[in-house]
């Protein structure tokens, strides 16, 4: 089996992740932050370890600013809705996933908000951070509360200029929300350096943790407005959620097995080294880009970029059909629109969708040769 | 005898306890007896009485917001 769907969820997971999750379930899976017995404290300490690991990895300001969520979508909803008020205006990129678009559409429909879309110049050979920032600056209004940008879209490897966008946001006194779904664990993201106000993370993609883990990390000045209300393990006689982070935004029992798995994933990632992961994925991308581009009738989208995701189509064959045919060869890729109509429109694949192959540290050059061989056969009609 | 620095949340108590341990002060996260707080369940960090001046200084230097320090 060749797994090239790491942008959906990474696979395989490092053995340390499975081992720690099993150990948790067998030895210490009490309810963290509730009781005062040994299992509850053991679970709570492991959860705090994960807060520290995320703080260090993303240069965040403090472990208490790490709010655990079930996934990046939950984290993005928490961040976006924290800023929702009458007339609030958001600016997002033309590469945003539905996890950004749909919460924004909800705000427009239900809360009287609005949003504008900035041009990331995906198909512009002269794209530059300055050009992207000019496109954002032209949309800023007095009522703008935040810029939202993906660190890297989920259908191509266009890394966004987070440092420059962050500087622009700081200059204009607006918040900067980053969707780290495809960037985290693939390249360095620093909240401090990029002036990020809220960073949404899935635990189960580049961070190598299990599904069900994720986090929102916020800056000290980001407003903490709960979406969920309930037990917090503290201030329990009071009718409202505690004022302090992270408990204010973490109603209900946390998923201890998922969070300890995430911490083990981060440890594994740091053991390999982010630079090594980045350069390995770029090597895989370059091979895939070269081999796929050589096949007549194949279009590769955003071929200038280099990262963990590549998208392509074969002329005349629907992308889902291609993905199914590759699956018959035990090659796992994803066809369709990838929950991202904005990015497909920006890349010119809005009527067809695309086939996406997405890499991890565990893929090899041989995986890419097998992918290209499969695509070549399909393009020749071997499977039709 | 030990004192307990009381915190509004468990996470802040954990943060405080690790700071103290980094300074070689024996510190243990504890659940504070609910009858001694007005807000219901609370968390604290227990430490020996001889460390109280160092503890206050560390919390002050690191802007750690303990609610109060009580006798265990």
Is the model's pLDDT at A384 over the cut of 70? no
Asked whether the beta carbons of A135 and A126 are under 8 A apart, the reply is no
Name the residue among A44, A237, A246 with its Cβ closest to that of B40: A237
Listed in sequence order, the DSSP H helices in chain A are 15-23, 38-57, 72-82, 98-111, 129-137, 162-172, 256-272, 274-293, 319-328, 341-347, 365-379
d(CA A252, CA A32): 10
Name the residue among B9, B18, B40 with its Cβ closest to that of A247: B9
For chain A, domain boundaries = 15-271, 273-379
pLDDT digits (tens, 9 = 90+) for A204-229: 999 999 999 999 999 999 999 999 99
Name the residue among B8, B14, B42 with its Cβ closest to that of A44: B14
Asked whether the beta carbons of A8 and A72 are under 8 A apart, the reply is no
- For A172, list phi and psi in degrees, rounded to 5: -95, 0
Q: What CATH number should be reported for the domain whose range is A273-379?
A: 3.90.1150.10
Confidence of residue B34 (pLDDT cuts 50, 70, 90): confident
**Any CB–CB contact under 8 A between B41 and chain A?**
yes
pLDDT digits (tens, 9 = 90+) for A36-68: 999 999 999 999 999 999 999 999 999 999 999
Q: What CATH number should be reported for the domain whose range is A15-271?
A: 3.40.640.10
Query: What confidence score (pLDDT) does residue A125 get?
Result: 83
Confidence of residue A235 (pLDDT cuts 50, 70, 90): confident
Q: Using CB atoms within 10 A of its CB, is residue B35 exposed (0-12), middle (13-18) or buried (19+)?
A: exposed
The mean pLDDT value for A363-383 works out to 95
E strands present in A125-223: 144-150, 175-179, 198-202, 214-218
d(CA A346, CA A355): 16
The DSSP code for A5 is B
| CA closest to B63 among chain A residues | A62
Using DSSP's 3-state secondary structure scheme, residue B2 falls into strand
Is the model's pLDDT at B17 over the cut of 90? yes
Is the model's pLDDT at A302 over the cut of 80? no
Report pTM: 0.96
The DSSP code for A100 is H
Among A44-48, A240-244, A305-309, A336-340, where is mean pLDDT lowest? A305-309
Using DSSP's 3-state secondary structure scheme, residue A323 falls into helix
Query: What confidence score (pLDDT) does residue A68 get?
Result: 98
The mean pLDDT value for A31-39 works out to 93
Sorted by where each starts, the structural domains of chain B and their CATH numbers stand as 2-71 (3.30.70.260)
| CA closest to B17 among chain A residues | A45
Chain B residues touching residue A242 (CB < 8 angstroms): 8-9
The mean pLDDT value for A57-80 works out to 98
b/e per residue A119-130 (b: at least 16 CB within 10 A): bbbbeeeebeee
The mean pLDDT value for A153-169 works out to 95
> A55, A66, A234, A246: which to substitute to probe chain B, counting the most B Cβ within 10 Å?
A234
A269-A272-A274-A275 Cα dihedral, nearest 10 degrees:
-170
From A209's Cα to the closest Cα of chain B, the distance in A is: 22
Q: Using CB atoms within 10 A of its CB, is residue B36 exposed (0-12), middle (13-18) or buried (19+)?
A: middle
R_g of chain A computed on alpha carbons: 21
pLDDT averaged over chain A? Answer: 95
Fold agreement (A15-271, A273-379): no
Query: What confidence score (pLDDT) does residue A226 get?
Result: 96
Interchain contact, A244 vs B12, CB within 8 Å: yes
b/e per residue A168-192 (b: at least 16 CB within 10 A): bbeeeebbbbbbbbbbbbbbebbbe
Asked whether the beta carbons of A250 and A102 are under 8 A apart, the reply is no
Report ipTM (2 d.p.). 0.93
Query: What confidence score (pLDDT) does residue A190 get?
Result: 98
Using DSSP's 3-state secondary structure scheme, residue A233 falls into coil
Q: Which of these, A188, A187, A102, A212, lies nearest to A148 by C-alpha position?
A: A102
E strands present in B21-66: 28-32, 42-48
pLDDT digits (tens, 9 = 90+) for B22-32: 999 999 999 99
Region class of A106: left (phi > 0), else alpha (psi between -120 and 50), else beta: alpha
Is the model's pLDDT at A322 over the cut of 80? yes
> B8, B11, B17: which to substitute to probe chain A, counting the most A Cβ within 10 Å?
B11
Query: What confidence score (pLDDT) does residue A303 get?
Result: 66
Using DSSP's 3-state secondary structure scheme, residue B26 falls into coil
Chain B residues touching residue A245 (CB < 8 angstroms): 11
The mean pLDDT value for A126-136 works out to 94
């Amino acid at each position: 089996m060749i797994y090239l769907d790491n942008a959906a969820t990474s696979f395989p997971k490092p053995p340390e992740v499975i081992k720690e999750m099993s150990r948790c379930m067998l030895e210490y899976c009490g309810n963290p932050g509730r009781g005062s017995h040994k299992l509850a404290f053991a679970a709570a300490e492991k959860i705090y370890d994960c807060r520290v690991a995320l703080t260090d990895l993303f240069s965040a300001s403090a472990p208490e600013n790490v709010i655990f969520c079930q996934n990046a979508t939950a984290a993005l909803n928490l961040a976006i809705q924290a800023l929702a008020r009458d007339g609030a205006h958001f600016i997002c990129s033309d590469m945003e996933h539905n996890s950004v678009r749909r919460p924004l559409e909800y705000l427009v429909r239900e809360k009287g908000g609005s949003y504008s879309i900035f041009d990331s110049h995906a198909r512009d050979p002269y794209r530059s951070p300055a050009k992207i920032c000019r496109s954002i600056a032209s949309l800023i209004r007095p009522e703008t509360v935040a810029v939202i940008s993906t660190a890297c879209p989920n259908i191509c490897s266009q890394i966004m200029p987070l440092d420059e966008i962050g500087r622009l946001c700081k200059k204009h006194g607006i918040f900067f929300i980053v969707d780290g779904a495809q960037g985290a664990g693939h390249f360095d993201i620093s909240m401090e350096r990029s002036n990020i106000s809220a960073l949404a993370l899935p635990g189960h993609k580049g961070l190598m943790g299990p599904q069900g883990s994720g986090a929102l990390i916020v800056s000290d000045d980001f407003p903490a407005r709960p979406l969920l209300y309930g037990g917090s393990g503290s201030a329990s006689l009071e009718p409202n959620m505690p004022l302090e982070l992270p408990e204010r935004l973490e109603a209900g029992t946390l998923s201890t097995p998922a969070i300890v798995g995430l911490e083990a994933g981060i440890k594994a990632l740091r053991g390999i080294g982010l630079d090594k992961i980045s350069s390995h994925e770029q090597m895989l991308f370059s091979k895939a880009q070269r081999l796929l581009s050589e096949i007549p009738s194949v279009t590769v989208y955003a071929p200038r970029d280099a990262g963990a995701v590549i998208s392509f189509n074969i002329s005349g064959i629907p992308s889902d059909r291609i993905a199914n045919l590759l699956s018959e060869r035990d090659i796992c890729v994803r066809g369709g629109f990838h929950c991202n109509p904005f990015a497909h429109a920006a890349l010119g694949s809005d009527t067809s969708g695309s086939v996406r192959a997405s890499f991890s540290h565990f893929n090899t050059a041989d995986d890419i040769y097998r992918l290209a061989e499969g695509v070549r056969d399909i393009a020749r009609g071997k499977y039709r | 005898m030990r004192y307990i620095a009381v915190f509004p949340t468990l996470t802040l108590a954990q943060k405080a306890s690790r700071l103290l341990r980094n300074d070689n002060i024996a510190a243990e996260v504890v659940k504070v007896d609910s009858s001694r707080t007005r807000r219901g369940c609370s968390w604290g960090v227990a430490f020996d009485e001889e460390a109280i001046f160092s503890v206050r200084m560390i919390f002050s230097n690191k802007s750690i917001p303990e609610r109060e320090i009580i006798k265990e």
